[in-house]
Amino acid sequence: MSLTPSSARVALVTGASRGIGAAVVIELACQGIVPVLAVRRPETARATASAVQALGIDPLVVACHVENADEARAAVAATLKRHGRLDILINNAGVVDPMGPVGAVDVNEWDRAIRINLTGPYLMVDAALSALRASPAGTVINVSTGAAHAPRTGWSAYCSSKAGLVMLTHCLALEWGPEGVAAFGLQPGMVDTDMQSAIRAAQVNEVSRVPRQQLGKPERAARLIAWLANQRPMDLNGQDLSIRDAELVKRAGIDA
């Protein structure tokens, strides 16, 4: 099977080399959506790209630091050059560092977190918006967190940047929903990823003490994200959704 722009939607996924991002890329491909992998270092995406190739899709891997406007535009341009369209943008790239009390973390690192977690998604949307508006199914999915809604000790940069990302989702739906662009936030819960390993090592708050065996699998979160991308439930447009919402999970059928 070789999917072409005429037969399949195209999704650009940031932070696609591992964890939730890699799982999303594979799940999208399983559902017939052609993924483009935006990663800081293309060599880190080889395993994920190979998994997509095994499904009969030739994936495009693009180098992209999301906080760099030129690289964001270049990633979108490369997608359009290869596929002629862009239907879905999934802003997954993010960092939890720096971790520590307010006033005790490096201000430059704090600013870097804001640029990656909040400015980066804005730059990606800004670069992709024309293509998304031209698509019959333009969709933005911002990977959120419960920490956007409840402060956590030692996570001022993460909580603040992700709270801003939630508001960006609201604004996107308000401004571009009437033109057919859907925007969703998705809180994937505590997932067994490298980020969670760093959180456990830091021991800055109660999340650090959650046993690894209690963490969710990236694939489960990926199924819900892919469902949002595929189904575009417009009654949920603009909402910051949670994988802990039993009704949502049932509706998506991700545990069936």
Residue 251 lies in a domain: no
DSSP class of residue 155 equals: B
Point out which residues pair with 191 in neighbouring strands: 216
Residue 4 lies in a domain: no
Say which residue the tokens 């009704």 belong to: 247
Catalytic residue flag (residue 122) = no
Dump pLDDT digits (tens) for 67-98. Answer: 999 999 999 999 999 999 999 999 999 999 99
The pLDDT score that the predictor gives to residue 204 is 81
- Please, what is the Cα angle at 163 between 37 and 234, to 5 degrees? 65
Say which residue the tokens 């859907």 belong to: 182
Residue 254 lies in a domain: no
Residue 256 lies in a domain: no
Residue 31 lies in a domain: yes
Instruction: Mark 112-136 as b/e (b = at least 16 C-beta within 10 Å).
Output: bbbbbbbbbbbbbbebbbebbeebe
Domain residues for the domain of 119 are: 10-246
Mean pLDDT, 10 residues at a time, the chain of 256 residues: 62 96 97 97 96 95 98 98 98 95 97 98 98 97 96 95 98 97 95 76 78 84 97 98 97 89
Dump pLDDT digits (tens) for 105-127. Answer: 999 999 999 999 999 999 999 99
Question: Domain tally for the chain?
Answer: 1
Whole-model pTM: value is 0.94
* Concatenated DSSP letters of 187-220: E--SB-SHHHHHHHHH--SGGGGS-GGGSBPHHH
* Concatenated DSSP letters of 56-70: T---EEEE--TT-HH
Cα separation, 231 vs 5, in Å, equals 19
Point out which residues pair with 63 in neighbouring strands: 39
Cα separation, 32 vs 191, in Å, equals 25
Which residue, among 167, 182, 189, has the nearest Cα to 254 in the 3D structure? 189
Relative to beta strand 240-242, strand 60-63 is: unpaired
Tokens at 88, concatenated: 């879905």
Look up the CATH number of the domain holding residue 112.
Answer: 3.40.50.720
CB atoms within 10 A of CB 235: 5
Residue 24, burial from CB neighbour count under 10 angstroms (0-12, 13-18, 19+): buried
Relative to beta strand 10-14, strand 34-39 is: parallel
Catalytic residue, chosen from 158, 176, 184, 227, is 158
Is 74 in contact with 85 (CB distance < 8 Å)? no
Residue 123 lies in a domain: yes
